[in-house]
Amino acid sequence: MTRDEFREALLQVMERKHHWAWPHFTSGAVKKARLHVHLEQEYAVFVRDFPVLVGRAYVQCPLPAVRRELAENLYEEETGGLHAGRPHPELFLEYPKGLGFDLSRFEAVTLLPGAKLYRGLLDEVTQARGWSVAAAVVTLFIEGTPHERALFDPSAPARPEPALSEHPLVKHYGLPLESLALTKAHRGVEGDHRQAAWRMMLDHVPGAERAKVVSAMEQVLAAWLVYRDDVALACGLEAPQR
Ligand SMILES: [Fe+2]
Ligand SMILES: [Fe+2]
């Protein structure tokens, strides 16, 4: 697999990181009384432990240039020391706090079946398949969006960045603007994390490992879609007929 083929395969996985229920979350169609389920599952599946997941890629990586990228990402996510001012997992909790949800629920989340499978897979791919798979899944799949192509192609659709007052949690659920600290932090720093993720993949993953990385990404995408099905159902949404 050439570098260009590798990039294209990764972009095509990311372009499928899209779930049918998402427009229901962003248009206010999910009842506020159920919205906590989505936030709790996201928190327990990857938000809370995100810095640790980055760390798993770091400790397995023999390449200093890649470790530096991962260390910077880990430090910001774990402490907010470069940009956000506070740990990102803590800033995430400002969403449920601002919405008036019971924060104690976030300390003991029971994962939905699909969430449990997805998290199990994340644990496996970040610990047992080498740094390239761990870094791809954590910095590209988890942190990335379906709009990665816009980083390389100015004619590709960019990630929409509506005004903060138009943020779905503000617009449809009454979240105070000041509770969007994580959204603000991500708008400031996430561009760097996107660039770093692609540098690690395209400039450092050895040619012989590219196919392995793509197949792990496909596997994670499939598990993520099932996880999001379970969250949608638990939030009272019905899957469209396929
Ligand atoms: Fe973050
Ligand atoms: Fe990040």
Task: Tell whether pTM > 0.85.
Answer: yes
Q: Does domain 3-147+163-234 have CATH number 1.10.10.60?
A: no
> Where are the domains positioned within the chain?
3-147+163-234
Ligand nearest to the CA of 191: 2
CA of 73 from ligand 2 middle (Å) equals 6
State pLDDT tens for residues 118-168.
999 999 999 999 999 999 999 999 999 999 999 999 999 998 889 999 999
Ligand nearest to the CA of 194: 2
Helix H, strand E, coil C: the string for 191-221 is: HHHHHHHHHHHHHHCCHHHHHHHHHHHHHHH
CA of 74 from ligand 2 middle (Å) equals 8
Burial class (CB in 10 A: 0-12, 13-18, 19+), 75: middle
Which residues have CB under 8 Å from 75's CB, separation 6+? 81, 82
Q: What is the pLDDT of residue 10?
A: 98
CA of 95 from ligand 1 middle (Å) equals 14
CA of 185 from ligand 1 middle (Å) equals 8
Ligand nearest to the CA of 86: 1
State pLDDT tens for residues 181-227.
999 999 988 889 999 999 999 999 999 999 999 999 999 999 999 99
Q: What is the pLDDT of residue 160?
A: 87
Ligand nearest to the CA of 73: 2
More confident residue, 25 or 188: 25
